[in-house]
Amino acid sequence: MKLVTSNKKRGTKTSSFGTSGRTNHDSTAFYTSKLYESLPKEEKVEYVENPIPPESLNKILQKSSESMDELPDNSVHLMVTSPPYNVGKEYDENLTLENYREFLKRVWSEVQRVLVPGGRACINVANLGRKPYIPIHAMIAEDMIELGFLMRGEVIWDKASSAGSSTAWGSWQSASNPTLRDVHEYILIFSKNTFGRKKPLKRENTVSRDEFLELTKSIWTFPSESAKKIGHPAPFPVELPYRTIQLYTFEGEVVLDPFMGSGQTAIAAIKANRSYVGYEIDFEYAKLADKRDKEFRLKFNSPKLSDFAETQKEPRGSAIPSASAVTAAVSGDAR
C-alpha cells in the first residue's frame, strides 16, 4: 500500500500553548471567547459611498466639527487628526475632563456618520500631567469603542531626540519621586462597521513594499514638528498623516481632519494625491492652514526643469517646449 503525502501546509489555530507561526491561521476559538463578548462586532453592511459637494471638497471650513452637515453620510474614507488637549493653549477651552470627553464624543459621532463602511479613524494623542497622570489615549479608546467603532490597534510614535531635553525627571538620582519623561505619543486606529473595505472603481494602492513593511509595525520613529516654524502651538509633522493615508486609503479618496490646525493633514493629502476636508474653529489658524495648503499645492504641482528634460532632444533652435510636454508636466504626468 502506497502512502500518499502532501506538501500542502496545514493551517495553524489558536492553542492554549500559543502559536509560533501563523499559516492560514484559524483564530475562531480566541474571538468567540468570553473576552470579546462585550466588544463591538463586525457588521454585515452594504458598501455605500456618497460624493461630497464640490464646494466643500479640498476646503478648510472655519467652524466646529461637532456638526459636519456639509458632508453626506458615508462620504469620507479616512479621518486622521490630533484633537486639542484642553491644557491652556490659546485655542483651548478650560473644560472639565468629563466635559472634554463629551465634546470629543460629539465630534467622533459625526466622524462615524461620515465615514464609509470600513472607513478608518486615526487619532494622535499624548497623555497629560503627572500628579496624577491622565491616560487620555485610554479614555478616547474607551469612548470610541462605546460609540461602536472597531479598534484595530495603536501605534507608538517614538519622537526620539526631537522630543527635546526635558529635565522634568522629578527627584534627581533618587527613588524619592522620579518622574517619567514622555518621548512618545499614540496613534489610535479604528474602523467603522468592518475591518476590511471595498476597493471601488479600481482605485490604486500607492504604498510601496518597503513602506508597507515599515508602516505595519506598531512603533513609528520620526521627529516632531517645530511650533515656531509652522506658526501653530501644537502641529504634528506631515509625515504622521501621510503614513496613515498611504496605509489606509486608495489613490483619489477623501481624508478628513476635524481639527485641522495648521493644515498638515491637507498637505499630506495633496502629497499623496488624495482629496481632503478640514474643520478649524479658530479663524486665524483656518486662514493659516488655507494659505499653507494653497502654497504647497502650487509648489507641488508646478513643473520643474527636470520635467522638460525630453525637450532637450528636440532640434536646435526650438526654444519653446512642446505643448504635450508642458501639459504633462503641469498635470503631474511627467514628474
Interaxial angle between packed helices 264-271 and 283-301, expressed in degrees from 0 to 180 and rounded to the nearest 10: 20
Select the more confidently predicted residue: 92 or 106. 106
pLDDT of residue 37: 81
pLDDT at residue 325 tops 50? no
Q: In what order do the strands lie in the sheet with 219-221?
A: 59-61, 275-279, 254-257, 76-81, 115-125, 184-191, 150-158, 219-221
Q: How far apart are CA 179 and CA 114, in angstroms?
A: 41
* Among the listed residues 89, 84, 125, the one whose alpha carbon sits nearest the alpha carbon of residue 107: 84
- Of the pLDDT bands very low, low, confident and very high (cuts 50, 70, 90), residue 300 is confident
Cβ neighbours, 10 Å, residue 227: 12
Domains of the chain plus CATH, in order, are 42-163+180-301 (3.40.50.150), 303-335 (no CATH)
Q: And the C-alpha cell for 139?
A: 479614555
Q: And the C-alpha cell for 59?
A: 476646503
Q: How far apart are CA 77 and CA 246, in angstroms?
A: 12
Q: How far apart are CA 302 and CA 332, in angstroms?
A: 8
pLDDT of residue 139: 96
pLDDT of residue 138: 96
H or E stretch including 84? none
H or E stretch including 193? none
pLDDT of residue 319: 33
Positive or negative, the Cα torsion across 71, 44, 27, 213? negative
- 119 with 76: CB under 8 angstroms? yes
- Of the pLDDT bands very low, low, confident and very high (cuts 50, 70, 90), residue 82 is very high
Q: How far apart are CA 235 and CA 261, in angstroms?
A: 7
Q: And the C-alpha cell for 165?
A: 531635553
- 142 with 108: CB under 8 angstroms? no
Q: How far apart are CA 157 and CA 265, in angstroms?
A: 17
- 247 with 212: CB under 8 angstroms? yes
What is the rounded (10 degree) CA torsion for 252, 253, 259, 263?
Answer: 0
The fraction of the chain above a pLDDT of 70, given in percent, is 75
Average pLDDT over residues 238-264: 95
Average pLDDT over residues 153-168: 78
Q: Is the peptide bond prior to 233 cis by the omega test (within 30 degrees of 0)?
A: no
pLDDT at residue 54 tops 80? yes
**Which range has the worst mean pLDDT, 103-107, 195-199, 238-242, 324-328?**
324-328
pLDDT of residue 266: 94
Amino acid type, 11: G
Q: What is the β-pairing status of strands 275-279 and 254-257?
A: parallel
Q: What mean pLDDT value characterizes the chain?
A: 82
- Of the pLDDT bands very low, low, confident and very high (cuts 50, 70, 90), residue 163 is low
Average pLDDT over residues 53-82: 96
**Which range has the worst mean pLDDT, 142-146, 157-161, 261-265?**
157-161
What is the rounded (10 degree) CA torsion for 218, 219, 222, 223?
Answer: 120
Instruction: Supply φ then ψ for residue 167, to 5 degrees.
Output: -105, 20
Amino acid type, 250: F
pLDDT of residue 324: 35
Q: Using one digit for the tens of pLDDT, what is the confidence trace for 182-236? A: 889 999 999 999 999 988 788 999 999 999 999 999 999 988 776 666 655 556 7
**Which range has the worst mean pLDDT, 114-118, 160-164, 234-238, 288-292?**
160-164
**Which range has the worst mean pLDDT, 131-140, 163-172, 234-243, 302-311?**
302-311
pLDDT at residue 284 tops 50? yes
pLDDT at residue 257 tops 70? yes
pLDDT at residue 272 tops 90? yes
What is the rounded (10 degree) CA torsion for 233, 217, 142, 132?
Answer: -60
- 29 with 70: CB under 8 angstroms? no
What SS3 state is found at 262?
coil
> Would you give the DSSP letter of residue 41?
-
pLDDT at residue 48 tops 70? yes
What SS3 state is found at 271?
helix
